């Protein structure tokens, strides 16, 4: 059974409108995946979404999941054209795309929020003029991430550097298993945070060896006794 572009668009708009009606502050929409879209098609897709969705919309650039990036110039034009496109989560391992996005959009629309998707890019993002990150480690180590934000806000660069190195070491958790979501959840469960590590099949489950690796990382960083 083959879905059509219209079907994908309809599903996205219906789910977005449902979330907004139920009280969501905004929705975040990843580009269509499996088939690669060129910049023009992608721009048209988000143009239409912005017109249909009656609420705040964030773009979600995640090439590891879609196979391609949302080009910087496309995001710039969308941000300048649609007031309800309010930001972008840029989930890439480096800062090249995010840095260029900040330079292209922020001077023209300072309120446009630009977040990194990987935790270790947080400080670089903010120092470059972005708005921070939406990462996974904040679920596991909220006290570490909160302290990092506080250090940035008060300009304590010694603390920023110290926490950066701690977060860099904690990033090893992402490599325990792929995809990483069940393993982040398992680490939270092992730490005593009220979440179950279950994930929908066919996502993997953490083994005893995985548990050992997760606990070793967390003990090394004083997240477990």
Residues 5 and 75 in one domain: yes
Instruction: Judge whether 85 and 118 are in contact, CB under 8 Å.
Output: no
Residues 104 and 20 in one domain: yes
Residues 24 and 101 in one domain: yes
Residues 55 and 41 in one domain: yes
**Any alpha helices (H) in 5-85, and if so which ranges?**
5-21, 39-52, 63-66, 72-81
Residue 225 inside a domain? The answer is: no
Residues 107 and 150 in one domain: no
Residues 123 and 151 in one domain: no
- pLDDT values of the chain reduced to their tens digit, one per residue, 225 residues: 344 456 888 999 999 999 999 999 999 999 998 888 899 999 999 999 999 999 999 999 999 999 999 999 999 999 999 999 999 999 998 999 999 999 999 999 999 999 999 999 999 999 999 999 999 999 999 999 999 999 999 999 999 999 999 999 999 999 999 999 999 999 999 999 988 887 888 999 999 999 999 999 999 999 997
- Domain end: 135, 152, 186, which one? 135
| Residue span of the structural domain in which 42 resides | 1-135
Running DSSP on this structure, what letter comes out for residue 94? S
Instruction: Judge whether 56 and 86 are in contact, CB under 8 Å.
Output: yes
What totals of helices (H) and strands (E) does the chain contain, helices first?
11, 5
Q: Specify the pLDDT at position 5.
A: 52
Residue 205 inside a domain? The answer is: yes
Residue 113, SS3 per DSSP: strand
Residues 5 and 66 in one domain: yes
- Domain end: 93, 117, 135, which one? 135
- Please tell me the distance from the alpha carbon of residue 181 to that of residue 197, in angstroms, as a whole number: 9
Neighbours of 74 (CB within 10 A): 23
Residues 97 and 23 in one domain: yes
Residue 116, SS3 per DSSP: strand
- Domain end: 120, 135, 150, which one? 135
Q: Specify the pLDDT at position 2.
A: 40
Q: Specify the pLDDT at position 197.
A: 80
Residue 25 inside a domain? The answer is: yes
Please give the C-alpha separations between residue 59 and each of 55, 85, 181, in angstroms, as whole numbers.
13, 7, 21
The position carrying tokens 């629309």 is: 109
- Please tell me the distance from the alpha carbon of residue 50 to that of residue 83, in angstroms, as a whole number: 9
**Which pTM does this prediction carry?**
0.92
Residue 133 has phi, psi (to 5 degrees) of -150, 155
């Amino acid at each position: 059974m083959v879905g059509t572009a219209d079907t994908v668009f309809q599903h996205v708009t219906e789910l977005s409108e449902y979330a907004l009606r139920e009280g969501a502050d905004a929705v975040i929409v990843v580009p269509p995946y499996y088939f690669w879209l060129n910049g023009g098609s992608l721009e048209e897709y988000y143009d239409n979404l912005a017109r249909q969705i009656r609420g705040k919309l964030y773009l979600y650039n995640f090439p590891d999941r879609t196979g391609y990036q949302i080009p910087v110039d496309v995001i710039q034009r969308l941000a300048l054209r649609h007031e309800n496109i309010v930001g972008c989560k840029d989930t890439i391992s480096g800062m090249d795309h995010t840095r260029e996005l900040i330079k292209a959009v922020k001077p023209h629309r300072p309120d446009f929020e630009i977040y990194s998707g990987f935790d270790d890019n947080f400080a670089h993002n903010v120092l470059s003029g972005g708005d921070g990150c939406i990462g996974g480690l904040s679920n596991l180590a909220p006290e570490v991430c909160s302290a990092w934000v506080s250090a940035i806000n008060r300009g304590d660069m010694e603390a920023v550097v110290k926490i950066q190195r701690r977060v860099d070491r904690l990033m090893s958790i992402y490599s325990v298993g792929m995809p990483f979501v069940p393993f982040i959840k398992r680490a939270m469960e092992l730490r005593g945070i009220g979440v179950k590590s279950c994930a929908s099949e066919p996502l993997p489950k953490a083994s005893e060896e995985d548990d050992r690796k997760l606990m070793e990382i967390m003990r090394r960083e004083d997240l477990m006794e």
